[in-house]
Structure 1
Amino acid sequence: MSVFISAYIKNSKKIAPLFLNACCPPALQKATTQSPNKRNTSVLSASQGKFVEFDKGITKMLWLQASIVIIFVIIHLFAGLLLDQPAIPRSKWLSFAGGVAVSYVFMHIFPELAAAQTTINESEPIFAWMEHHAYLVSLVGLIIFYGLERLVKSSRRDATRAFQTPSETQASRGVFWLHIGSFIIYNALIGYLLVHREEQEAWAMSFFAVAMGLHFVVNDFALRQHHKNTYHDVGRWLLTAAIVFGWVMGLMVKLPEPLIAVIFAFVAGGVVLNVLKEELPEENKSSFIAFGCGASSYAVLMLLF
């Protein structure tokens, strides 16, 4: 990924026009009529016959987004190794991650959900009927993920009663595909929203990366608990690909702002549910001190910046 971006920026004058149109989305370029003799990173747009100037700020943002995607990829592929280390107190680690995620929900998700509602209210009539309904979309997302979680647990209970010990049980194959399919959509939407966030400053993106990275670690732990080797052999690769796919689609396709607001509302509901069900561990497996440290430290950092 990084090699592609580097080669694309350094050799942009040599890239064929058709390749440019395919790989350089409108969100990352602006058409100008400047002379090609200027020392700007400019290339010829085949569709408009104009020169495309890459803004340095946009280039930096592209690199930052790519770095965050790479971090998410590493988390999905190797989080299992981290959680399997006997030297790491799992309860404290998960409680700290839960505190960060809960703080992120209250200090970032809820305010952005209000902003999404404003965007919907000011939209075209096709979305305007959803006045005050961004929260309803968020509730739908929460209900869907809650229903899937109940389905997975029911499948594991059936397997336990059938022939397995509780520690060895995993959901059925069909339930696995339904469950992992929902998280594929979830991850792809998060990857897409990485490009179309309201706040694109470097500090805001960094906070997002920390919160969602820890969120993915705990999601990975839960999915491994439910699906065992099936998740390790298949699921984690699909979720990794979904993140990358969503990000690339975000670069290539710009949906209407009201629709992006609806997508965010749906994802927000899923995030809230996943925070509540996984990142607030059972009482005998949790650490209140670690949870409080995670929540308070993240909240203080957000207030400072």
Structure 2
Amino acid sequence: MLWLSLFFVIGFIAIHLFSKNMLFLKALPRSRFLSIAGGISVAYVFLHLLPELGVFQDELQGEVERTAWRFLEHHIYVVAMLGLVIFYGLEQMVKSSKRRRDKAGGQNSRDGVFWVHIGSFAFYNALIGYLLIREEYESAWGMLFFFIAMGVHFITNDKGLRATHKDDYDRYGRWLLAVSILVGWGIGALTEVNELIISFLTALLAGGVVLNVLKEELPEERESRFSAFCIGIIGYSVLLLLL
């Protein structure tokens, strides 16, 4: 399914480059699509990524007993929690930087914090690009569902990053994120990373997705739609369970 994965990578890149032209994302109260997208992403994490971590944990039993990674044998979910904490810490760092900049009368966010924040999402995207080609899908449908879940998640992330970093995101950020997906896919096409590392990175991704969805859905000023969120999470859960 190499060519199919490349097709989906191009789709991911197009989302980052052209999401700013999706006018319905600018609507207030919050577009129902964004809340549906959040539900889809959360459903994918809890019904696919987290169960997959359980499989990884079973496969690791005994293999890492005498290594520095032996805690993963029984605590892979701790890494998912760590992913959530890392992205939460990054968000707090960005907010603190923005408050200081606003007090100083700054107009943009292109400083060290901007590059750290965008760099973390570039790593996040590269991992998704890698998993797109290296994930063991049972069929092309499995790859399609991964693309849908991560694609709508990218749209939500783009909106949040654009609101935070403004012109800097369009000038630099979206291009870096687009390229990072292709880099991750290229690494996956050319080499296979150790399964222990992939289990660790998948856990970080799961925690990051949950945090990034919640930070967009929970704040009151987002005017999120609970009913739309439920439609997304229930509808996509049914599809995943049928698959």
TM-score (normalised: structure 2): 0.91
Q: Structure 2 CA distance, aligned partners of 1:86 and 1:186?
A: 25
Q: In the alignment, is residue 213 of structure 1 matched against residue 151 of structure 2? A: yes
Distance (Å, rounded) in 2 between the aligned partners of 1:281 and 1:66: 36
Deviations 1:138-165 (A, max 9, x none): 222211111000011111112222226x
- Indicate the residue corresponding to 1:275 in structure 2: 213
From the superposition, tell whether residues 183 and 212 of structure 1 become closer, same or farther in structure 2 (CA, over 3 Å): same
CA distance in 2 between partners of 1:284 and 1:111 (Å)? 30
Deviations 1:138-195 (A, max 9, x none): 222211111000011111112222226xxxx653511100100111111111111112
| Gap runs ≥5 in structure 2 | none
Q: Does 1:243 align with 2:190?
A: no
**Higher helix residue share:** 2
Q: Which has the higher contact order (CA 8 A, sep 6+)?
A: 2
Residue by residue over 1:7-61, the C-alpha shift from the partner in whole angstroms, topping out at 9 and shown as x without a partner, is xxxxxxxxxxxxxxxxxxxxxxxxxxxxxxxxxxxxxxxxxxxxxxxxxxxxxx0
2:137 to 164, 176, 199: 199
CA deviations 1:73-128 (Å, max 9, x no partner) are 01010111114666797431211111111211221122112122223225344344
Aligned partners of 2:110 and 2:168 also within 8 Å? no
The verdict on how the C-alpha distance between 1:110 and 1:282 changes in structure 2, with shifts beyond 3 A counting, is: farther
1:199 Cα deviation after fit: 2.4
Aligned-residue identity in percent: 51
Distance 2:74 2:108 in 1: 40
Structure with bigger gyration radius: 1
Contact 2:30 2:222 in 1 (8 A): no
Residue pairs, 1:226-241, within 5 angstroms? 226-241=164-179
Q: Decide whether aligned partners of structure 1 residues 268 and 175 sit closer, same or farther in structure 2, where only a CA change above 3 A counts.
A: same
For structure 1, the 5+ residue unaligned runs are 1-60
Asked whether the equivalents of residues 192 and 249 of structure 1 are also in contact (C-alpha less than 8 Å), the reply is: yes
Instruction: Give 1:250 deviation, angstroms.
Output: 0.5
How many residue pairs were aligned?
241
Residue 224 (1) aligns with residue 166 (2): no
Residue 104 (str. 1) matches residue 44 (str. 2) = yes
CA contact (8 A) 1:187 1:242 kept: yes
Q: Structure 1 length as normaliser, TM-score? A: 0.73
